[in-house]
Chain A
Amino acid sequence: MSASADLLELETAPPATTTNQQGPTGTNNPRRVWALVVLVAVVVSAYSLGIGRGDLVNQGGWSMVRNFFAGALSPELNPDFLRITWDATLTTLAYASLGTALSVFIGLVFGVVVSQTWWGVGRRDGYGRGLIKRAGWLTSRGALGLPRGVHEVVWGLFLVNVLGLDPLVGVLAIGIPFGAVTAKVFSELIDETPKHAYDGLRSSGVGRVKAFAYALAPQAFPDLLSYSFYRFECAIRAAAILGIIGAGGLGYQLSISFSSLRYNEMWTLIYALILVSGLADLWSTTLRRPDRSRFLVSNEQVPGLRRDRFLNLSMLAFGVLAAVSAWHLQLDPATLWSQRARTLLAGIRDASFPLNLTVEQLSTLGRLALQTLAMSIVAIAAASALAVATAFVAARSQGGGEDPGPVRRLGSLGARALLLFCRAVPPPVWALLLLFVLFSGPLPGALALGVYNYGILGRLMAEVVENLDPRPVYALRAQGTGGVKAFFYGVLPLSLPRFGGYALYRWEVTMREVVVVGLVAAGGLGRLLQEQLSSFNYPGVVATLLTLVGLTIFADLVGSSIRRAIG
């Protein structure tokens, strides 16, 4: 199991055990029940979005799509535009790095505060079973659910209404929701860290804060750090999406060039996005490579633990990047407590309540919630199907085994480039492209999220394939089994459960992301939110946000039930 797999799974649930590959066999096999539920859900969702019901494709739009892709060969390279692109790249990087820095800071503070260790609950030795302690842990943990359930873009739209056109909006919009996710993961990492030293210090009368700093922090530190770099990779994608709603940077320039249909300019910006996210992916993957996972085992004394130059350099580089970013954006934290921000915040609060929802509004919310659910399901079903097919091509090796040969290596390179392209282009841009050939409505939005998640899932699944246990295939091949059969019996059964885990993890994330495509009129609750924001219907905005948070919680619950069943 790769380090990255661990870290991703941690975001939603404890890692599924991979020992029980067979599963129980019986009529009430929960796996089969869930498989049926998922199948029905996918079919119903697809049908509800109009698939199989005529009039979906706008035949007139193909020439626009052809023109767009033709631009790939001749990106705009005049010096003025390259300067704009360079500046936009710096801005996107700046939002991403400062957003990450903030989220790590929030994660460190709240990660400790919401950990079971801090509250002293969840221990089998009877120590700390108190009701109050438990309540404290649950409350602090539940409080993180709200910022986590709201997408970065929604944070951005909200903060613009309080802080105005200020670079802090971009930093906070990434930092707050990412901080909540990071806090959750950090708390779980802390709870998984061996407690002997901590207990020792505590029982000899050392305070909680000191015991944490001396006994737990040093052990958990490498894990925390490598997760932080994974967050940075995500933050670059988030910064690009935020640009589209006006925060500046590559996403902003991309939407400007798109609105005048300047495809050549768009491609220059897309190449810049591909470069930046490609490098960030590479950086974070290198840090998390399995051969670096010695950091992940930390309770035994390792006398010869080498200094990790790459890790140290990475930290230094990130520090420099964050400092340069703050200078580039000219951040002024004083805006946060300015008179204007307080007045505007109070104004929004007063305008938002009471909610006073009518039956009609509630039924609209219900209908759009179902549509949002359907969009997320179709998006992930399409993305997973494509990703599974691509993962085996994209993987550089299968189960760490034989030399792949030049053809496979070329195929792998091509597949990786395709996946990178799909995840580097922000979902709203995919939605606008799809709106050329599909009638507006929820379907182009769902497919846009599908394309984007295909890029993310394909890469994660390829990592799974690369890290597979090679022994079953060796055994099959040694018995003279053919390549195809060995694949179906030795590779596929081992990878599918982990693929399923990743698909679920992305589904939960997608539920939040549906909002993003709604902002370009591609359906779901995001579309409603956009309309409510443009008519300044604050009670409506609050109701829609609560519905979205509800959907996120629902997805988390269903996701963890399925994971338990297939685990």
Chain B
Amino acid sequence: MRNPIRRIPALLCILALFLGACSGGDTDASDTEEGIDNSAEGISIGAIPDQAPEKLQRLYGAVSEYLTAELGVPVDYVPVTDYTAAVGLFKVGDLDMVWFGGLTGVQARLQVEGSQAILQRDIDENFHSVFIANTASGLTPVDDVEGLSALKGKRFTFGSESSTSGRLMPQYFLGQAGVRQADFQGEPGFSGSHDKTAELVQAGSFEAGVLNEQVWKARQDAGQVDDSKVIEIFRTPAYHDYHWIARPDLIERDGGEFVERVKEAFTNLDPADPDQKEILDLFGANGFIETENDNYAEIEQIGRELGLIS
């Protein structure tokens, strides 16, 4: 009987150790930011994980380095695992500025009153999705939206469920061609990212898929597309897509001067400078231009029609 009693103090010691360690962490972490109002010097940026993680790391690593130098405050890139997490962390204020797609951008602005779309790439005001097909599927290029009805009965995959160019707009155009979700063989897949869609279609896991034009071009340029296995069959009409959105506290920082410097930093990106050219290349763009909330009204309307915005 005596021994078990003696173990009680041991257990209490563990608890004390545990609590002690917690309060020790308290002082360590005191230099990180604490609340919405108390915005610290640095800013955190994020991006929807639309491409392979190592690409994102390379791109946003370069972006945060560039912004740190231009703005004179530490800029951190925080990677996230899915589209929803990017919106969620923007909402709670862990991310001050995020590179969103059309749909996630609308979702984010609906969650955070006063946030604004500030910048887009030159390609984003005229963005396209590309339908691709495995050559073994027998699918051939089609001329117009109606031609997409050839996809009926095929094994088909979208990208992420919250993707504008990998799901929302393609589903909208498929609807115009009279192709419903139930018309595919089995249920349509959701690969999670544009890169993965390309790989799954090339490997024949799915007969056809859809992804954003910029990722498709980047893969072609990088020699990752095997023409004997996968071909482009349709390029959609244009729509607005990706853009940077800033939280209201960032917009108001230094009386609005700070966000102007962010805009300048992006619009001044110069292809003649090798470091800045790398950033533009990774973005697949020639330059950045300003944008505004109203550009995404169409996306919002389609999102509501398809039930992706409530």
In the complex, which residues of chain B have a beta carbon less than 8 angstroms from the beta carbon of A161? 88, 91-92
Known: A221-B4, A435-B189, A535-B310. Contact between A340 and B93, CB under 8 A? yes
A55 close to chain B: CB less than 8 A: yes
Which residues of chain A are near B91, meaning CB under 8 Å?
Answer: 161, 536
Q: Which residues of A contact B87 (CB under 8 A)?
A: 534, 536
Question: How many residues in B have their beta carbons less than 8 Å from beta carbons of A?
Answer: 74
Q: Shortest beta-carbon distance, B159 to chain A, in Å? A: 11
A554 interfacial by beta-carbon distance below 8 Å = no
When C-beta atoms are compared, the residue in chain B nearest to A224 turns out to be: B11
Most chain B beta carbons < 10 A, residue from A213, A298, A322, A340 = A340
Q: B187 near A440 (CB under 8 angstroms)?
A: yes
**Chain A nearest Cβ from B163, distance in angstroms:** 11
B15 adjacent to chain A (CB < 8 Å):
yes
**Among listed B33-41, B236-244, B255-263, interface-contacting one:** B33-41
A325 to B17, CA, bound (A): 11
Check A301 against B155 for contact (C-beta < 8 Å). no
Cα A312 to Cα B8 with chains together (Å): 11
Contact A60 B207 (CB under 8 A): yes
Stretch at the interface among B24-32, B118-126, B138-146, B210-218: B24-32
B21 CB to nearest A CB, Å: 4
On whether A58 and B205 interact (CB within 8 A), knowing A440-B186, A534-B87, A536-B107, the answer reads: yes
What is the bound-complex CA distance between A101 and B186, given in angstroms?
A: 45
Q: Can you list, as one digit per residue, whether each of A57-71 has a CB less than 8 Å from chain B (1) or not (0)?
A: 010110110000000
Of B26, B81, B84, B193, the residue contacting A334 (CB under 8 A) is B26
* In the bound complex, CA of A315 to CA of B9 (Å): 12
Interface residues on A, range: 35 or more
Q: Select the stretch in A41-49, A114-122, A251-259, A403-411 that faces chain B.
A: A251-259
Q: Does B110 contact A (CB under 8 A)?
A: yes
Contact with A along B196-237 (1 / 0, CB 8 A): 100110011111000000000000000000000000000000
**For A225, what are the chain B residues with a Cβ–Cβ distance below 8 Å?**
7, 11
Q: Whole-angstrom distance from the CB of B82 to the nearest CB of chain A?
A: 7
Asked whether any CB of chain A lies closer than 8 Å to the CB of B297, the reply is no
Taking CB atoms, residues of chain B closer than 8 Å to A58 are 155, 186, 205-206
Tell me if A330 is interfacial: C-beta within 8 Å of chain B: yes
Q: Is A540 positioned at the interface, with any CB of B under 8 Å from its CB?
A: yes
**If A60-B205, A319-B13 touch, does A531 touch B161 (CB 8 Å cutoff)?**
yes
**A219 x B4 contact (CB < 8 A):** yes
Are B192 and A259 within 8 A (Cβ)? yes
| B12-23 to A contact mask, C-beta < 8 Å, 1/0 | 011101101111
Residues of A within 8 A of B110 (CB): 536
With A101-B18, A164-B89 given, is the CB distance from A439 to B186 under 8 Å? yes
Q: Mark A267-308, 1 if CB is under 8 A from B, else 0.
A: 000000000000000000000000000000010011001010
Q: Is B270 an interface residue (CB 8 A)?
A: no
Complex alpha-carbon distance, A256 and B188, angstroms: 23
Would A338 and B34 be within 8 Å (CB), given that A218-B4, A221-B8, A536-B111 are in contact?
Answer: yes
B10 touches A246 (CB 8 A): no
> Are B195 and A260 touching (Cβ within 8 A)?
yes
A217 within 8 A of B: yes
Residue contact A64 to B36, C-beta cutoff 8 Å: no
For residue A521, CB closer than 8 A to chain B, the reply is: yes
- Contact: A315 with B88, CB < 8 Å? no
Distance (Å) between the CB of B87 and the closest chain A CB? 7
Known: A165-B78, A344-B92, A440-B189. A246 touches B14 (CB 8 A): no
Instruction: Report yes or no: A55 in contact with B186, Cβ–Cβ below 8 A.
Output: yes
Whole-angstrom distance between the Cβ of A350 and the nearest chain B Cβ: 13
Q: Which residues of B contact A34 (CB under 8 A)?
A: none
The closest CB in chain B to the CB of A228 belongs to: B11
Closest residue of chain B to A311 (Cβ to Cβ) is B7
Decide if A323 touches B18 in the complex (CB within 8 Å).
Answer: yes
What is the minimal beta-carbon distance from B130 to any residue of chain A, in angstroms?
20
- Chosen A-B contacts, 28 in total, with CB atoms closer than 8 Å, are A58-B186, A63-B203, A101-B18, A160-B88, A160-B89, A218-B1, A221-B7, A221-B11, A222-B4, A244-B81, A245-B85, A246-B80, A259-B192, A259-B195, A312-B7, A323-B21, A331-B29, A338-B35, A339-B36, A340-B34, A340-B36, A340-B92, A439-B187, A532-B310, A534-B87, A535-B308, A536-B87, A536-B310
Extra inter-chain contacts (13) besides given A340-B34, A344-B92, CB under 8 Å: A55-B186, A164-B89, A217-B8, A218-B5, A221-B11, A246-B85, A256-B79, A259-B192, A316-B10, A319-B13, A322-B18, A436-B205, A530-B161
Question: Which residues of A are in contact with B by a Cβ distance under 8 Å?
Answer: 55-56, 58, 60-61, 63-64, 98, 101, 105, 160-165, 213, 217-219, 221-222, 225, 244-246, 252, 255-256, 259-261, 298, 301-302, 305, 307, 312, 315-316, 318-319, 322-323, 325-327, 329-334, 338-340, 343-344, 435-436, 439-441, 521, 530-537, 540
Closest 9 pairs between A and B when the two form their complex, measured CB to CB: A439-B186, A326-B21, A319-B14, A260-B52, A534-B84, A332-B29, A164-B94, A60-B204, A164-B92
